[in-house]
Amino acid sequence: MDVKKLMEEKIRILNEAAKAYYVEGREIMSNFEYDKLYDELEELEKETGMILAGSPTQRVGYEVLSELPKEAHPKKMLSLDKTKDREALAEWLGNQEGLLSWKLDGLTIVLTYKNKKLDKAVTRGNGEVGEVITANAKTFVNVPLSIPFDGELVIRGEAVITYEDFEKINEAIPELDAKYKNPRNLCSGSVRQLNSQVTAERRVRFYAFSLVSAGEVDFSNSREEQMKWLSGQGFDVVEYKRVNSGTVVKTVDEFEHAIEKNPLPSDGLVLIYDDIAYSASLGVTAKFPRDAIAFKWRDQIAETTLREIEWSASRTGLINPVAIFDSVELEGTTVSRASLHNISIMEELQIGIGDTVQVYKANMIIPQIAENLTRSGNLHIPETCPVCGGHTEIHDETGVKTLFCINPECPAKKIKSFTHFVARDAMDVDGLSEMSIEKLIARGILKTPADIFRMDRFKSEIVSMEGFGEKSYDKLIAAAEKARHTTPDRLLCALGVPGIGTANAKVIAKACENSWDKMQNISLGELKTIEGVGEVLASGYRGFFDDPENKAEIEELLSVIKIDETFEKGQDFMAGLTFVITGSLNHFANRDALVAELEACGAKVSGSVSAKTSYLINNDVSSNSGKNKKAKELGIPIVDEETVLSWLESGEVVR
């Protein structure tokens, strides 16, 4: 292959990977592989002096593809040049001082404030054109809606989701293949939602890292002063440390040791000159600003031997390959397994049992296989499902090969489907665990969801099963009886309609005024008029309800459950209000019960007090708790449970 064709091939692969990652939220190659390929292309461009059209080394970001409004940035947003050499940072600083901070791994956002209010929020997009997400930004956990400064303020920052919130969201998703791969992908999809309610539920946070303009404010020619000023305006700013050429290497080490305790996802560090005037004098290159540089962690790589591939089936039929290898120590932890993602990646690595592979942790967190040194390619793709023994098929979608079990009766599909059906946010059958479901399916007691509400026909068999008894049986039947009485949005969420989670189920139910018949038969056109439901979601929805097998299963289910279709058009009288609940409750069984009441009236409920909080609910109004203090500082009203009850009963919030 000649050099030009080699470059064209690298460009094609890199662009496909970038599109999958940034636009479609998929991962078709590891970060290590992408960076390696990118560096090889860049080296070829330097050697030949030739840069081909479409080269990712010349393009900032990827093309914006969504239904959100577009807006051109006043000035092109450039990416940063990067290094993995700590000493190079000291050389780059020279006799200047700089600010060293986390390079947060989320989505870059530009916020504009006018007359003290948040006026506009735009994503970075492709660097030239971004997406307007103002309504979504107003739901971010820590973005101030109003600030003391009354001039025009423009700042840049990163929207991120903490590891803790990421894990909570993933824990609520029972099926393996539906779980989010990393916080960055989840954040990107959350920020760019058409329904801001979904964004609010994802608990997105914003950390400012750059002040673009702030009228005539004097910052004494110091970026650090800008950051301090932004903190004073109510913004959370990215954690940073002031450094010079003599301290920067040591400070990089300090950041490295803090990675495990950092609650925010990051993929390196950023070093920028503190001197604003000096920075401006440097100008920019075609792609990079000259006043800042990114530091990427040099991956700790370990060699080990691949022992087996574990194939894990899910409720959709997707069978995921996981590499099992001899244990190695990486970044202070023992690692023995890593996802291989799909067959395409396995083929690219020419993976085989007994191969010597190099393993690393992407961003020091997620185990990945970087390279296969022996490339035996001796791996046999299973022709039968590891769970049911049924036939498998390789699906090729947009160049990515994945393995599927095609047996509709596969227990793995049923187990995962049933687990999803009985989940807390779905039909909420308390106590029916995945292990219990597996046993009941194996005995032939559960074949369709409707069977959950007919388990009393098998009392003697269930009581005699391992792990069950009279008490367990009674609790199980009581839980099923309670779940039999449900609401349209819970049933919709439980069915496993592609792309329909708790938030979308509630939105669709509300649009159909809680009529289950309307929800089943709503047209494609009507679906697309509902906020947050696009072409893909609508098509998947109709495809699900038009499927004859699904229709029969739903009809059977409707014969054994009772749906409360009560709907009051004025029930959203709390729309636009955000509540925070703290302390003990007297009139509600738990906080979830109160949250359900508030959300049913259109309100949002947050876990922390911020400038966007409307009311703090606390029966001890005069307490000195942290949330009470914060509410008082921000001038947010504190109300007790009795007051909220009166609002719920009257259908009116009395301010």
Note the residue count of the chain: 655
CA distances to 581, 590, 598 from 619, rounded to whole Å, are: 10, 14, 16
- Contact between 404 and 395 under an 8 Å Cβ cutoff? The reply is yes
The distance of Cα 234 from the centroid of its chain, to the nearest Å, equals 25
Rounded (5°) CA angle 136-141-142: 110
Is 103 noted as a catalytic residue in this protein?
yes
CA atoms within 13 A on the CB side of 42: 12
Over its C-alpha atoms, the chain yields an Rg (Å, rounded) of 27
Q: Which helix (H) or strand (E) holds 98?
A: strand 98-104
Token duo for residue 326: 């001899």
100: CB partners within 8 A, 6+ apart: 240, 241, 242, 243, 248, 251, 252, 255, 269, 270, 271
Q: Which helix (H) or strand (E) holds 330?
A: strand 318-330
247: CB partners within 8 A, 6+ apart: none
From the candidates 103, 506, 604, 627, give the one annotated as an active-site residue.
103
The distance of Cα 158 from the centroid of its chain, to the nearest Å, equals 14
What span, in angstroms and rounded, lies between the C-alpha atoms of 321 and 311? Answer: 5
Task: Give which of 137, 10, 156 is closest to 78, Cα–Cα.
Answer: 156
Q: Which helix (H) or strand (E) holds 159?
A: strand 153-160
Strands, E, within 487-645: which ranges? 562-563, 578-581, 604-606, 615-617, 638-639
CA distances to 162, 221, 284 from 275, rounded to whole Å, are: 31, 6, 16
In this structure, the strands spanning 604-606 and 107-114 are unpaired
Q: Which helix (H) or strand (E) holds 359?
A: strand 356-362
Token duo for residue 384: 């039968």
Q: What does 562-603 look like in DSSP terms, one character per residue?
A: EE-----TTTTTTTT-EEEE-S--SSSSSHHHHHHHHHHTT-
- Residues annotated as part of the active site: 103
